[in-house]
C-alpha cells in the first residue's frame, strides 16, 4: 500500500462539476492499494498518516500532526500510485490490487482514519475525479507500507 500525503491549506474533490468533498487546513492523502496488501498495511499507514509530524508548531518547525492540530483529511483512492515504468513508455498497473479488493481495502483505510475522530472527506472509488489541492509549503511525503519491513541499516 502506498500513500502520497500533501499538506494543504484547503482541498476539494468534484465529479462532473459537482462537489462531493471539501476540507480546510489539513492533509490530502492519495491511496494506492497493492496486490497482497493486508490489514497490517492499512493499520500501519492509517496510524502513520494521522501521527506524522508535518505541520508547523508555533516556531514554524514540523513538529505537529494532523491529530495534534485537529485538522481535516481528504482521502482519495488512486491506483496509479502503483504504476510500474520499468519497461517501455506506457505504465503498467499489474502491482495494483484488482478493483473489488482495492475498494474494500480503501474503505477499511477510511474507517481507520474515521475512528480517530478527525473530520474526513473522500472521493468516489473508480470514478474520474477532479481534485483541487492547495499545497501548503509545499510539503509532500510518500510512504510505502512495505518499507516498514526493510532493515534500517
* CATH label of the domain that carries residue 44: 3.50.80.10
Q: Active site residue: 9, 38, 80, 130, which one?
A: 80
Q: Active-site residue 78, yes or no?
A: yes
Sorted by sequence, the CB contacts under 8 Å of residue 98 that are 6+ apart come out as 35
Is 106 designated active site? no
Q: Are 15 and 129 in contact (CB under 8 A)?
A: yes
What is the count of structural domains for the chain? 1
Dist CA 41 CA 35 (whole Å):
11
Residue range 36-49, pLDDT digits in tens:
999 999 999 999 99
- Helix or strand or coil: residue 96? strand
Tally Cβ neighbours within 10 Å of residue 102: 23
Structural domain range at position 136: 2-149
Amino acid 145: pLDDT? 94
pLDDT, tens digit (0-9, with 9 covering 90-100), for 63-100? 999 999 999 999 999 999 999 998 999 998 999 999 99
DSSP, collapsed to helix, strand or coil, labels residue 26 as: strand
The active-site residue out of 79, 106, 109, 122 is 79
Q: Is 79 designated active site?
A: yes
78, 106, 109, 122: the active-site residue:
78
Amino acid at each position: 500500500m502506498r500513500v502520497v500525503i500533501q499538506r494543504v491549506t484547503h482541498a476539494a474533490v468534484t465529479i462532473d462539476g459537482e462537489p462531493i468533498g471539501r476540507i480546510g487546513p489539513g492533509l490530502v492523502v492519495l491511496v494506492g492499494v497493492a496486490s497482497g496488501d493486508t490489514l497490517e498495511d492499512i493499520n500501519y499507514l492509517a496510524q502513520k498518516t494521522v501521527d506524522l509530524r508535518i505541520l508547523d508548531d508555533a516556531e514554524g518547525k514540523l513538529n505537529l500532526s494532523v491529530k495534534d492540530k485537529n485538522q481535516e483529511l481528504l482521502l482519495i483512492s488512486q491506483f496509479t500510485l502503483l504504476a510500474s515504468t520499468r519497461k517501455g513508455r506506457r505504465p503498467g498497473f499489474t502491482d495494483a490490487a484488482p478493483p473489488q479488493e482495492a475498494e474494500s481495502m480503501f474503505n477499511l483505510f477510511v474507517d481507520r482514519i474515521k475512528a480517530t475522530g478527525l473530520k474526513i472527506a473522500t472521493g468516489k472509488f473508480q470514478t474520474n475525479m477532479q481534485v483541487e489541492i492547495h499545497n501548503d509549503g509545499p510539503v509532500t511525503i510518500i510512504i510505502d507500507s512495505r518499507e516498514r519491513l526493510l532493515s534500517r541499516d
